[in-house]
Structure 1
Amino acid sequence: MVEEVFKNLVDQFSDPFTCLRELVQNAMDAGTENVEVRTRYLSDPGGVCLEIRDFGEGMSRDIIDGKLTRLFSSDKENDLTKIGKFGIGFVSVFSLRPELVTVDTGREGEYWRIAFDGGTDFQLFKLHAPLEGTSVKLFKLLPYEELQEFERRCHETVSRWCRHSHVQISFNDQSINRPLEVDSCCQVSVQEGLGTFNVGLTTDSPSRFGLYNTGLTLTEGEQEKLTGITFKILSNHLEHTLTRDAVIVDENYHKVMNRLNEIIHGPLFDKTCEQLLGGAELREKTAAVAAPYLVEISEKLTSAQKKRPMLKGLFDHLVSWADLAQTAKEENHFFVTEQESDLARRAAREGIPVFGFSRTSQTAALLSSVFEVPVVSLERNLAVSRPVPRPPGLKKIESHIRWLLREARILVRAVVPVEYPDSVAMNPSQPCTFALGPDRLVRRFRRGFWATKYLLPQQLLLDIDHPLIRKALSRAETPGGARLAAYVICKAALLNDGLDPAVESRLLKTLLERS
């Protein structure tokens, strides 16, 4: 019966080298400050000696008789500082099918060697030389040509399961300890009673995660539930299942996961904003990974978080999430420029954020992704109009233009010729713009602007440098050309909003009736 139970315990370890994880875990539970794992080849009889050495409290005769040599026996059940609670860790050493296993240990002035023959049979010997801690040695027959692969597997196993340990662990005198960090340019580390939480941003989907107890790996893998997040959690409140292949989902597990969510929606957001406010290089690195995360948490931001500055405008104006959301809603664009022009200052004074990064930058891509509006050139889309002298042709057709627009349900107080001195390569498809008046900040891209933004009668601004306007005004001075010129200008103005066929029919009818 004992042999059958022993065999089942040994066979549960699908990877026999995971015995190293179990032995390192036992060493840590014994209170050691460092663990040494070594391999040594024995030419006679031709095999390897694998040793796991710790400098912890060691074992007394009572512990040897009552714990080590009895299956399923452990005194760690209610101690959160010790991860091995099932009493089967030592049994795992036999999964490597060794010919001999020895355990040298001692406590209270007595020192012992327990020798296992590769199974449940063992002998106990008293040692006369003092020994600090415990040394477990495994002897296994192995051809020399297989030694390198054996050592590789040992190193790989110890590194995978023990690299974040809080004690020093070495393999053949080389440290395998690594900091508990996530692969992210934007991350936070929160240390508290519940554990250590390292949480960062990533664009990977699925993303990497890891759960650890006393630095030993409980589980690592990929997850998709927390979009844009990679994390590692070190907590004594997390435990593995009996078979070591999963984490126990209990009340403590849910406490840890709830705290993780609080960190994602709190400190990590603060860190993201802090880095986006940093220098250009840091801002770009952060922007490159922040979009999935910010999209995911956008609906859960508090009012205080929405008011937190997260970007700098062109003139070092601090721009919050709320500012960005309002700009996206009202302007349907974000604006960037390469120079601190009067136009940029005018936009900033009117509460429109203007940024100094490129349209092709990672930060521009972030804004477009999160707020779903394009990032465009300031000079190509905003302009301050400046009135110019009225051409003779406009005097002949202004009344026609206002009459026709009235048929389109648009009240126009005046038709004003203007130029846009700060504009660059304006869109030639928009020769006319409705505005409250000249010397105003004009959104050259906006459609339906007069029906949605302002309710008061407006002015129709004609871009005097636009080829269509110049041609129409020239035609207006020819015999019989006034009506056609007025119609062309009205249609051009209405095309900014899409011209309904019924509206066009009314324009033509009115034009014919006045001819």
Structure 2
Amino acid sequence: MPYRSERKRGGAERPEAGPVAEMVRQFADPYAFVREFVQNSIDAGATAIVVRVERSGASVTTSVQDDGAGMDRAVIEGPLLTLFNSSKEGDSSKIGKYGVGFVSVFAVDPEVVEIDTWRDGTCHRVRLFRDHRYELERLAPRDGHGTIVSLHQTMEAARFEEHQARIEGALLRWCRYATVPMELHVSDPDRPEGSGARRIDGALGVPAPIFVETHRGGEHFVVGPSAGSERFCATPPAPEDPAWGKPTFAGFYNRGLTLFETTEPLLPGLEHVRFRVDSPHLRHTLSRDNVLRDRAFHRVVSQVRDLVTGSLRRELGSRLARAARDLAKARPPYDEEVVLSYVALLEAACAPPLVLPKDEVVLPLVAAWEGKHVAPEGKLFKRKEMFVAPLANELGRALAQVGEPVVLVPHPAIVSSLAARGPLPGPLAVEKHWVLLHELPDAEVTKADGELCLGVQKALRGAGIRVDRVALARPSTGIAAPCVLVQGDVRCVGVGVWLCRMGFVERGWAEERARGGLLLDAANEVVVAARERAREDSFVAAHLLARILLLSREDPSGKVSDSLFEASAKVIA
């Protein structure tokens, strides 16, 4: 039996007036009571907290259990049961200051609130009723120390599902960064799939491609940019994180419990920045819906801006360079995480407020250029042209060999991020502007092929066009011309390998004076037909091919054509 009771006889009705009722109305979220209970547990020195939501028929029990210091009778009859008489006054290590938090439990209209608390071998139970009266009794001795606060309610199955979902939502909103381990256990015999345990507490962080984290005088800062976070996050964000998807986010916490979160930039320079600060010096307002805008608040916001302009900017430059090197050294098919992490960092480096100078924006290259696999944007943009390629290949390596860097662009966002900063000298898709021609290896060249090439050389010389040699070659990409002159800008980049601008490939034979070698496109249908004919008659095949090649060259007087006929007649005679 209780040895002290302040409960009225008869049915307990929820009063609409009175100091407790007025305090209950201050809580905009009725489920914020879980924050108050967790706060009390942390203040009591708990090292673990377990929240349980259990249903048995129409009876539902919601409890918060901790292994904190517990309460003796003096604390129960004083700070717990006397409104505004808080044991936390004058203790800066405690989060609560006003002694009103516990009454928030009545916002969800429980029928009975039961508190079991024990310490120093003594255990007490307090029952709080709807009419805000209470019973206090002494229980059998219990070892250790701790407190269990239980709410007893009657509700149907559908209401229970909503109730347990709102309990979980409130815990995640208010306690997701609690400084002690915390679990939520749900038990519903009618819905086994909805039962189970979930860890609530997690590490303080922000969804960002990069963040800096500092600990100063008991304060914990985590700051990162929002740009690029849709591509890649340094730590996987929780789907219920309110910072996710918001360009600007600020969160303030005391020992991991939420005081205030906003999507408004609090200072110039904090737009498109996400940050969280946990500080024992931050306090919530009396209404618990904001953080006190006092000296401590303004100091930590100013420190966040210093982190953005200082260490975050420096870290971004360093990480971007490292990610560019990792991407440049990777081999196709590229790992998606390697690509997206670089893309995300580049987007952050090209967007406010962390717009890095062009000399600090490092781009990956298809192949080493001037001895390095990466190059700063500023150096590349001083060139007249910017060539890009989606993957590392022989063509890109050949261009680097002749002094033309090729930027590795396995994702279109790389170009769009750079373009957002200003006009680009391109980008020019390397395969549309350059071509590699590989002479056919000896194993693929038949005797008839050799006779065909020699016959074409002789036929052209007979027509007054001197070429040093004729060979069969295979281009790296399709070309319209059946042959390519090996002269001028055509560069040898390996044994039998030639690099040429696509523009020269298309016009060189038709416009340039022949003074070098000639490569026949082995994939061209005319050359393919000539090779087939050469197996039967290499002379006829060579002269027919030479005549077709000459069709694309100007011959207004017919002198070249006549010379070819004369040469043919001499051979036939």
In which range does the TM-score fall when normalised by the shorter chain?
0.5 to 0.7
Deviation at 1:124, TM superposition (A): 2.4
For the 8 Å contact 1:164–1:179, the answer to whether it is kept is: yes
Map 1:382-421 → 2, pairs under 5 A: 418-421=488-491
Cα 1:14–1:2 shift into 2, 3 Å: closer
| Superposition deviation, residue 311 in structure 1 | 4.0
Residues 1:257 and 1:115: Cα distance change in structure 2 (over 3 Å): same
Which of 80, 83, 91 is residue 68 of structure 1 equivalent to?
80
Contact 2:61 2:150 (C-alpha < 8 Å) held by counterparts: yes
Question: Would the alpha carbon gap of residues 290 and 142 (structure 1) be closer, same or farther in structure 2, given more than 3 Å must change?
Answer: same
Alpha-carbon shift at residue 95 of structure 1 (Å): 0.8
Q: Does the 8 A contact of 1:105 with 1:134 survive in 2?
A: yes
Q: Conserved in 2, the CA contact under 8 Å of 1:291 and 1:366?
A: yes
Q: Indicate the residue corresponding to 1:290 in structure 2.
A: 345
AA aligned opposite 2:53 = T
Q: Which residue of structure 1 lines up, in the alignment, with residue 53 of structure 2?
A: 39
What corresponds to 1:466 in structure 2?
none
Match of 1:426 in 2: 503
Equivalent position SS for 1:314:
strand
- Give the corresponding residue for 1:175: 198
Assess, with a 3 A threshold, how the Cα gap between structure 1 residues 7 and 427 changes in structure 2: closer, same or farther.
Answer: farther
Q: Indicate conservation of the 8 Å contact 2:112/2:127, yes or no.
A: yes
Which of 90, 93, 96 is 2:102 aligned to? 90
Measure the CA separation in 2 of the matches of 1:430 and 1:222: 59
Give SS of 1:293's match. helix
CA contact (8 A) 1:188 1:271 kept: no
Structure 1 residues 105, 327: closer, same or farther in 2, change over 3 A? same
Aligned residues: 399
Q: TM-score, normalised by structure 2?
A: 0.59
Aligned-pair CA distance for 1:42: 5.4
Query: 1:347 is matched with which residue?
Result: 403
Instruction: Write the distance in 1 (CA, Å) between the matches of 2:488 and 2:17.
Output: 98
Residues 270, 344 of structure 1: CA spacing in aligned structure 2 closer, same or farther, 3 A cutoff?
closer
Query: Structure 1 counterpart of 2:414, which letter?
Result: T
Cα shift at 1:69: 1.5
1:103 aligns with 2:103: no
Inter-partner Cα distance in structure 2 for 1:227 and 1:376: 34
1:202 matched to which residue of 2? 229
**1:405 paired residue number:** none
Check if 1:140 corresponds to 2:193. Answer: no
Percent pairwise identity:
26
Is 1:273 aligned to 2:297, yes or no? no
Aligned pair in 2 of structure 1 residues 317, 369: CA closer, same or farther (>3 Å)? farther
- CA deviation vs aligned residue, 1:244-296 (integer Å, no higher than 9, x gap): 22223333223333333314323344334333332353442124333552233
Partner of 2:5: none
Q: Please give the per-residue CA displacement for 1:349-383, whole angstroms capped at 9, x wherever unaligned.
A: xxxx432445x544334333345413223575689
Once the 2 structures are TM-superposed, how far is the Cα of residue 153 of structure 1 from its aligned partner? 1.9
Letter in 1 for 2:319: K
Partner of 1:154: 167
- The 1-side partners of 2:96 and 2:89 are apart by 8
Tell me whether 54-63 or 64-73 shows the greater mean CA deviation: 64-73
Contact 1:277 1:283 in 2 (8 A): no
Q: Is 2:410 the counterpart of 1:369?
A: no
Q: Are the equivalent residues in 2 in contact too, given 1:168–1:175 (CA < 8 A)?
A: no
Contact 2:348 2:354 in 1 (8 A): no
For 1:444-483, list aligned pairs within 5 A: none
Instruction: State the alpha-carbon separation in 2 of the partners of residues 427 and 239 from structure 1.
Output: 72
Aligned to 2:255: 214
Q: For the residues of structure 2 that align with 1:274 and 1:63, how far apart are their CA atoms? A: 57
For residues 157 and 312 of structure 2, the distance between their equivalents in structure 1, rounded to whole angstroms, comes to: 51
Aligned pair in 2 of structure 1 residues 11, 354: CA closer, same or farther (>3 Å)? Answer: same
Q: Are the aligned partners of 2:115 and 2:147 in contact in 1 as well (CA < 8 Å)?
A: yes
Unaligned stretches of 5+ residues in structure 1: 384-391, 393-416, 432-469, 479-515
C-alpha deviation, 1:147, in angstroms: 2.4
Deviations 1:99-146 (A, max 9, x none): 222222233443322222224422322233226211112222323553
Shift in CA distance, 265/95, structure 1 to aligned 2, threshold 3 Å: same
Equivalent-residue separation in structure 2 for 1:86 and 1:300 (angstroms): 45
Distance 1:335 1:144 in 2: 61
Q: Contact 2:359–2:378 (CA<8 Å) still a contact in 1?
A: no
State the match for 1:448 in structure 2: none
Letter in 1 for 2:31: F
